[in-house]
Protein backbone atom coordinates (compact mmCIF):
# COMPACT_ATOMS: atom_id res chain seq x y z
CA UNK A 1 0.00 0.00 0.00
CA UNK A 2 1.28 3.45 -0.85
CA UNK A 3 2.05 5.78 1.98
CA UNK A 4 0.68 9.30 2.05
CA UNK A 5 4.13 10.63 1.17
CA UNK A 6 3.93 8.90 -2.25
CA UNK A 7 0.59 10.49 -3.15
CA UNK A 8 0.87 14.05 -4.50
CA UNK A 9 -0.90 16.44 -2.13
CA UNK A 10 -2.52 18.47 -4.92
CA UNK A 11 -4.79 15.62 -6.10
CA UNK A 12 -8.44 15.98 -5.22
CA UNK A 13 -10.62 13.04 -4.28
CA UNK A 14 -12.22 13.26 -7.72
CA UNK A 15 -8.82 13.00 -9.39
CA UNK A 16 -7.90 10.01 -7.22
CA UNK A 17 -11.21 8.32 -8.04
CA UNK A 18 -10.71 8.94 -11.77
CA UNK A 19 -7.17 7.49 -11.68
CA UNK A 20 -8.35 4.48 -9.70
CA UNK A 21 -11.25 3.88 -12.09
CA UNK A 22 -8.95 4.11 -15.12
CA UNK A 23 -6.47 1.65 -13.61
CA UNK A 24 -9.35 -0.65 -12.67
CA UNK A 25 -10.66 -0.66 -16.24
CA UNK A 26 -7.19 -1.44 -17.61
CA UNK A 27 -6.74 -4.29 -15.13
CA UNK A 28 -10.10 -5.83 -16.00
CA UNK A 29 -9.35 -5.53 -19.72
CA UNK A 30 -6.05 -7.38 -19.23
CA UNK A 31 -7.78 -10.11 -17.21
CA UNK A 32 -10.43 -10.63 -19.91
CA UNK A 33 -7.75 -10.64 -22.63
CA UNK A 34 -5.76 -13.28 -20.73
CA UNK A 35 -8.83 -15.46 -20.26
CA UNK A 36 -9.74 -15.24 -23.95
CA UNK A 37 -6.17 -16.03 -24.92
CA UNK A 38 -6.29 -19.14 -22.72
CA UNK A 39 -9.62 -20.16 -24.22
CA UNK A 40 -8.30 -19.84 -27.77
CA UNK A 41 -5.17 -21.78 -26.82
CA UNK A 42 -7.31 -24.55 -25.34
CA UNK A 43 -9.49 -24.76 -28.45
CA UNK A 44 -6.39 -24.89 -30.65
CA UNK A 45 -4.81 -27.63 -28.51
CA UNK A 46 -7.97 -29.78 -28.67
CA UNK A 47 -8.17 -29.28 -32.42
CA UNK A 48 -4.55 -30.37 -32.89
CA UNK A 49 -5.09 -33.34 -30.56
CA UNK A 50 -8.05 -34.51 -32.67
CA UNK A 51 -6.10 -34.10 -35.91
CA UNK A 52 -3.15 -36.08 -34.55
CA UNK A 53 -5.44 -38.85 -33.26
CA UNK A 54 -6.99 -39.30 -36.70
CA UNK A 55 -3.64 -39.41 -38.48
CA UNK A 56 -2.09 -42.07 -36.24
The answer to whether residue 12 sits within a structural domain is no
pLDDT digits 0-9 by tens, 13-37: 999 899 999 999 999 999 999 999 9
The answer to whether residue 4 sits within a structural domain is no
* C-alpha span between 46 and 56 (Å, rounded): 16
Number of structural domains the chain divides into? 1
Q: What is the pTM of this model?
A: 0.65
First to last CA, the chain: 56
Has residue 3 got a pLDDT over 70? no
Helix H, strand E, coil C: the string for 13-45 is HHHHHHHHHHHHHHHHHHHHHHHHHHHHHHHHH
The answer to whether residue 42 sits within a structural domain is yes
The answer to whether residue 3 sits within a structural domain is no
The answer to whether residue 46 sits within a structural domain is yes
- Domain range for 46 is 30-55
The answer to whether residue 39 sits within a structural domain is yes
Amino acid sequence: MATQIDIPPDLTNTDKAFIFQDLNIELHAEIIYSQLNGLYTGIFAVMLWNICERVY
